[in-house]
Amino acid sequence: MDKLRVAMIGAGPRGMSHVRSIAGAPNIEFVAVCDIDEEVGRPVAEEFGVEYVSSIDALLADYDIDGCGICVPTPYHYDTAMQVIEANRHLVTEKPMAKSIAQAWEMMEAAESRGLQAAISYQLRFGPVYLKMKEICEQIDPLQVLFARQRPMMAAKYLSAEPFDGIMDFISHDIDMIPFLAGREPKAVFATMGRNVWADADAIEYMGCQIELGEGPHKTVGVISSSMGGGGVPQRLDVVGKNGVAVATGNDIKFAVGPNPTEKGVIRDFWNATFTGESRDFTADLYRHWADACLNDEVDLAPAASYRDGYNALLVSLAMVESGESGEVVDLEEFAEANS
Ligand SMILES: NC(=O)c1ccc[n+]([C@@H]2O[C@H](COP(=O)([O-])OP(=O)(O)OC[C@H]3O[C@@H](n4cnc5c(N)ncnc54)[C@H](O)[C@@H]3O)[C@@H](O)[C@H]2O)c1
């Protein structure tokens, strides 16, 4: 088998990015588009010259496929993914992984026990800026990671009171990125957030959070700052490591690798290196890599986010909301136990 046979479930606005990625991947054969809304799904299937299917049951029963992309609304990720997993098909699922950590845990266990390649669509991990930041982080031992991404108001469909909606949907990428860069496990969170600032929908509209990662005397602190009231504010990603610093502003990175001078007032040789990445949708890179991992046992799914990464990100995300509501620090192990 030199091409993975793949169908797309959910052909809404975000699903189209998956569709284009599947259709364009040299190691994927695009088989079908499944959407319960025929007016959405059929034209997409016709445009790409593949079959249109109206139900997941029919897709899984009648089509010879090895894997599926899933891009249905978040409340339906669990049911859809479990159907695909129980039919022993590999899958890429949109973020956030599910509505609850109990659901995400079950999805992860089910996929892992069947040996399926199950990825979460955290496509930023394939962006050259983030891959370069990851490489730098491996050299500098991150102690502080600050990720600040502001944006304008989100679409009405995300403005709900659900803890995975509002700005939490947008920053699920940031929540995945901090442990990815730090290379350490998140342990606890403390958050401050607000609802009903710009719209009366009870959605979380701004979020500031501190995440503690790792153990021992030199823990890493991750900070996320994001809102839907800061459209136009440049995004920042700053990392201060034991052995260097790196700053990404948009697609440009400036960094210095080397020991922190211990003499008073002396700074490292700023900035002795730069890198510029490109800006585009990296979903295509994610699909190509996932298909490679499905086709070849020797290809690791990383740097794609696995279901385990998706579970961890959802755990942190829901704990942030709990902390934002209670005003207390949330220990992730205790939170996971209480909510599984
Ligand atoms: N990774 C990213 O950067 C990113 C960006 C935007 C959205 N998303 C995520 O993508 C997901 C979908 O977003 P969207 O804006 O395209 O949603 P949407 O609601 O506009 O579209 C979803 C589509 O799925 C179809 N659908 C629903 N249930 C179905 C089922 N059981 N079987 C088949 N089709 C079904 C709907 O008919 C619709 O066409 C959400 O989870 C969202 O959080 C991720």
Domains of the chain: 4-124+283-304 (3.40.50.720), 127-279+314-332 (3.30.360.10)
Higher pLDDT, 82 or 265: 82
**Residue 235 has what DSSP assignment?**
P
> How far away, in angstroms, is 14 Cα from ligand 1 center?
6
Task: Check pocket membership of 225 for ligand 1, CB cut-off 6 A.
Answer: no
pLDDT band at 1 (very low <50, low <70, confident <90, very high): low
Nearest residue (by CA) to ligand 1, atom 33, is 35
Specify the DSSP element, H or E, that contains 58: helix 56-62
> How far away, in angstroms, is 27 Cα from ligand 1 center?
24
Q: State the DSSP string of 175-199.
A: HHHHHHHHTS-EEEEEEEEEESSSS
Task: Check pocket membership of 295 for ligand 1, CB cut-off 6 A.
Answer: no
Percentage of the chain surpassing pLDDT 70? 100
At 180 the pLDDT is 96
Task: Check pocket membership of 52 for ligand 1, CB cut-off 6 A.
Answer: no
Task: Check pocket membership of 165 for ligand 1, CB cut-off 6 A.
Answer: no
Give pLDDT tens digits for 89-122: 999 999 999 999 999 999 999 999 999 999 999 9
> How far away, in angstroms, is 201 Cα from ligand 1 center?
20
Give pLDDT tens digits for 315-335: 999 999 999 999 999 999 999
Nearest residue (by CA) to ligand 1, atom 25, is 10
Distance in angstroms (rounded) separating the CA atoms of residues 247 and 127: 15
At 48 the pLDDT is 98
Q: How far apart are the first and last CA of the chain?
A: 39
Count of beta carbons in the 10 Å neighbourhood of residue 60: 20
Q: What is the dihedral of CA 4, 80, 95, 33, to 10 degrees?
A: 50
Average pLDDT over residues 209-235: 96
> How far away, in angstroms, is 49 Cα from ligand 1 center?
21
pLDDT band at 279 (very low <50, low <70, confident <90, very high): confident
> How far away, in angstroms, is 112 Cα from ligand 1 center?
24
At 313 the pLDDT is 97
